[in-house]
Amino acid sequence: MLDTVYVHIRHMNFWFGEYGLCDKSCNDEITIYSDANRTNKMGCFDILTHISLAYLYNNELDLEEDYDYKKEIEGFLRGDSQVVYDYIYPRDDESLLYQVNHFAPLNKNNHKPTYIYMWTKLSDELDINEIKKCVKILVKEFFFEDVSNVQFLDNPTYDETKNAYDEIIDIFKDEKER
């Protein structure tokens, strides 16, 4: 039985929002481990809030090229489900090597997904508590475990986060001036 899982948030944008340097994130990639030393990676997931999906739907997807995907997003946004999953399945022989090694639904070719997205209406934005809530749901859904503790790995300090944020802002300023 698993009591604690460990989570690494893969991008600094989450921490920028967590420390109040910008708006909180609406989309974060996470990796879940069963140990603090990262010797047992359980899985990688991308968590998208309904706000993120609405933005994607309205601003980034093409009506014709992304028609089916837009319909999926629209169905979720208009539907009653609070959480759904979207899957990327292998597209060629090489990507078969990247199928998840935990439980996940098989496609018509009996392949597991290579990546899993969690779409959520549980919150408009993501913070520490929302990530913990989502991780507990993911662990229950894909690993059949009820965990009571979610610990974060590699939490940057405020100063580290601020320095990284300032570096990015400087890069954007330099690019704008060109």
Position 70 scores a pLDDT of 95
Tens of pLDDT along 60-80?
999 899 999 999 999 999 999
Q: Residue 173's pLDDT band (boundaries 50, 70, 90)?
A: confident
Position 163 scores a pLDDT of 95
Contacts with 81 (C-beta within 8 Å, 6 or more apart), sequence order? 121
Position 178 scores a pLDDT of 65
Give how far Cα 30 sits from Cα of 63, 116, 126, Å.
29, 11, 12
Q: Strand 115-120 to strand 27-33: parallel, antiparallel, or no bridges (unpaired)? A: unpaired
Position 171 scores a pLDDT of 82
Residues 53, 78: contact at Cβ < 8 Å?
Answer: no
Asked if pLDDT for residue 96 goes beyond 80, the answer is: yes
Tens of pLDDT along 106-161?
999 999 999 999 999 999 999 999 999 999 999 999 999 999 999 999 999 999 99
What mean pLDDT value characterizes the chain? 94
Position 113 scores a pLDDT of 95
Position 95 scores a pLDDT of 92
Question: What distance in Å separates the CA atoms of residue 145 and residue 159, rounded to the nearest whole number?
Answer: 36
HSE (CB half, 13 Å, CA atoms) of 105? 10
Residues 28, 9: contact at Cβ < 8 Å?
Answer: yes
Position 177 scores a pLDDT of 72
Question: What distance in Å separates the CA atoms of residue 69 and residue 137, rounded to the nearest whole number?
Answer: 24
Q: Residue 35's pLDDT band (boundaries 50, 70, 90)?
A: very high
Would you call 128 helix, strand, or coil by DSSP? Answer: helix
